[in-house]
């Protein structure tokens, strides 16, 4: 009888421990690197190894960029005779398990991409009808992250398709971060909280500051255009379930000011920080933006509250705010205009009342000290009005310490 009880209680503990592995996979927004923005389908084993090495030697891994994710184009065009996915033998001659071992040996995690449809966006085998089989293979290969796209899905219900894949991943038994990439078409923020850890909210990003780039039927959005689409979604994000305004374009051709503004807003929005540049060749300035400690800490803040645009001032200057742990705040003054703008801002005149998260920033009742996130300078306190100039497309990014 006692033996039976001991056996039953260990079984329950085992089951609970296993279930526990699948929660808390992304307590803060996931950080890493993804191949798509720079390399599209031109990816291979050498690129993965060089990127893994550089994530370590550049300090990016230690700054938090843990996931190395291969996007579209890693597969052969056909499944094998048993229906399993096969890595492209030219691009990945040693297969994914060996590559995952290499990535893991560097203290990183490894991710792959597929699609809920019959084919991926670039025409490789999609997962439709193979959910459990593909999940099993990812688990066998020791994959830690899956980005799951939405091309070639005519007649498929998004909630059902993503839920099936989510169940398949759990069944396969390995904790895998599940990144939904259905571009916000079916409002995943309303149903994906327990399906995956992050969901894309828009179509693709492109390395331009404003506007939309059109190429035939396809279009991509500039970073500010994407930021404009996020305001109403903040109430749906939180620990382990993040709005994803797409991967970073830092280092991909915008000016340094624009890269800084892009990164500042992604941190204010508690966005996943997935670098999309060629990190093996990046400049020192690009690395400094991606690894700015204060900015990354703002993104990764333990409360996980997505920030928002609080106010538009004259001359196209916007104020974005994010409530932080320990009653601190992040505040960004963003100049979207084409000229340098002088900003005079009386902290005491405007009270920020975040009704979603029930936080108030009131500089009449408390005096905050200011740190400039990009220059790292002590920037005084909120006692005195702020006065300064912001270059075109640049940002004044401040941390307000309580
Ligand atoms: C879609 C996604 C992109 C990328 C490509 C790959 O466009 O939104 O992020 O994964 O597919 O084909």
Q: Which amino acid residue places its CA nearest to atom 9 of ligand 1?
A: 204
278 lines ligand 1 (CB under 6 A): no
Whether ligand 1 lies within 6 angstroms of the CB of 121 is answered as: yes
For residue 71, the CA-to-ligand 1 centroid distance in Å is 8
Provide the pLDDT for residue 18: 63
Alpha-carbon distance 263 to 252, whole Å? 13
What pLDDT, on the 0 to 100 scale, is given for residue 4? 73
- Angle at CA 87, nearest 5°, toward 127 and 274? 75
8 has a pLDDT exceeding 90: no
Q: Where are the alpha helices (H) located in 92-142, listed in sequence order?
A: 95-105, 131-140
The candidate with the shortest Cα–Cα distance to 257, out of 96, 392, 106, 92, is: 392
Average pLDDT of the residues in 225-235: 95
Q: Predicted confidence band at 64 (pLDDT cuts at 50, 70, 90)?
A: very high
The CATH architecture to which 308-401 belongs is Sandwich (2.60)
Contacts of 91 (CB under 8 A, 6+ apart): 43, 44, 45, 73, 74
**Residue among 42, 71, 199 whose CB has most ligand 1 atoms within 8 A, to mutate:** 71
Cβ atoms of residues 22 and 175 within 8 Å: yes
pLDDT for residue 12 is more than 70: no
Average pLDDT in the 344-357 region?
97
**71 given a catalytic annotation:** no
Per annotation, catalytic residue among 71, 72, 134, 204: 204
Mean pLDDT within 42-71: 98
pLDDT confidence tier of residue 231, bands split at 50, 70 and 90? confident
For residue 7, name the pLDDT band (cuts at 50, 70, 90): low
Is 36's C-beta closer than 6 angstroms to any atom of ligand 1?
A: yes
Quick count: other Cβ atoms within 10 Å of Cβ 7?
A: 10
Q: By mean pLDDT, which of 3-7, 144-148, 331-335, 388-392 is the weakest? A: 3-7
Look at 269 and 22; give whichever has higher pLDDT: 269
Q: Which entry of 71, 72, 149, 299 is annotated as an active-site residue?
A: 149
Q: Is the pLDDT score of 50 beyond 90? A: yes
Pairing of the two strands 329-335 and 317-323? antiparallel
Judged against a pLDDT cut of 60, whether residue 14 lies above it is answered with no
CA-derived radius of gyration, the chain: 22
Beta strands in 211-282 (DSSP E): 212-215, 218-221, 242-244, 273-275
Q: Is residue 301 within 6 Å of ligand 1 at its C-beta?
A: no
Q: Which atom of ligand 1 is nearest to the CA of 120?
A: 12
Query: What's the pLDDT score for residue 315?
Result: 86
Pocket test for ligand 1, best of 184, 204, 207, 249 (most atoms within 8 A of CB): 204
> Which token pair is 191?
């149903």
Give the residue carrying structure tokens 């001991």.
6
Residue 179 pLDDT > 80: yes
Per-residue pLDDT tens for 270-328? 999 999 999 999 999 999 999 999 999 999 999 999 999 999 998 899 999 999 999 99
Tokens standing for 352?
A: 């920020």
Please tell me the predicted confidence (pLDDT) of residue 314: 86
Can you give the residue ranges of every domain in the chain? 28-299, 308-401
Specify the fold of 28-299. TIM Barrel (3.20.20)
Mutate to test the pocket of ligand 1, among 121, 123, 126 (most ligand atoms within 8 A of CB): 121
Tell me whether residue 278 is one of the annotated catalytic residues: no
The mean pLDDT of 158-185, rounded to a whole number, is 98
| Ligand 1 contact via 33 beta carbon (within 6 Å) | no
Cβ–Cβ < 8 Å for 145, 69: yes
- Does the beta carbon of 149 lie inside 6 Å of ligand 1? yes
């Amino acid at each position: 009888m006692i033996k039976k009880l001991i056996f039953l209680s260990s079984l329950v503990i085992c089951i609970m421990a296993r279930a526990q592995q699948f929660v808390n996979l992304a307590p803060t927004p996931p950080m890493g690197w993804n191949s798509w923005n720079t390399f599209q389908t031109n990816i291979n084993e050498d690129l993965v190894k060089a990127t893994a090495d550089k994530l370590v030697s550049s300090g990016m891994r230690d700054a938090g960029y843990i996931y190395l994710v291969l996007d579209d184009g890693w597969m052969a065009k056909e499944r094998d005779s048993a229906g399993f996915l096969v890595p492209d033998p030219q691009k990945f001659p040693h297969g994914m398990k060996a590559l995952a071992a290499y990535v893991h040996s560097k203290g990183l995690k490894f991710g792959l991409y597929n699609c809920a449809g019959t084919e991926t966006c670039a025409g490789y085998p999609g997962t439709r009808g193979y959910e459990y089989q593909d999940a099993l293979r990812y688990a066998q290969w020791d994959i830690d992250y899956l980005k799951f796209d939405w091309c070639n899905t005519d007649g498929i219900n998004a909630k059902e398709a993503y839920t099936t894949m989510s169940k398949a991943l759990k069944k396969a038994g390995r904790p895998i971060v599940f990144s939904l990439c259905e571009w916000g078409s079916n409002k995943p923020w309303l149903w994906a909280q327990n399906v995956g850890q992050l969901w894309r909210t828009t179509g693709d990003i492109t390395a331009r500051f404003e506007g939309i780039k059109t190429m035939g039927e396809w279009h991509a959005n500039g970073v500010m255009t994407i930021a404009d689409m996020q305001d109403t979604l903040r109430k749906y994000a939180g620990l382990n379930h993040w709005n994803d305004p797409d991967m970073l374009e830092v280092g991909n051709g915008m000016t340094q000011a624009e890269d800084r503004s892009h990164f500042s807003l992604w941190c204010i929005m508690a966005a996943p920080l997935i670098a999309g540049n060629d990190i093996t060749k990046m400049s020192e300035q690009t690395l400094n933006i991606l690894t700015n400690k204060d900015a990354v800490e703002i993104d990764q803040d333990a409360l996980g509250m997505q920030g928002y645009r609080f106010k538009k001032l004259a001359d196209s200057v916007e104020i974005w705010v994010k409530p932080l742990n320990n009653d601190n705040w992040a505040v960004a003054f963003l100049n979207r205009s084409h000229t340098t703008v002088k900003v005079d801002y009386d902290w005491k005149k405007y009270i920020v009342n975040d009704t979603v998260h029930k936080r108030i920033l009131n500089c009449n009742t408390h005096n905050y000290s200011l740190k400039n996130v990009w220059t790292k300078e002590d920037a005084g306190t909120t006692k005195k009005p702020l006065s300064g100039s912001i270059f075109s497309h640049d940002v004044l990014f401040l941390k307000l310490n309580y």
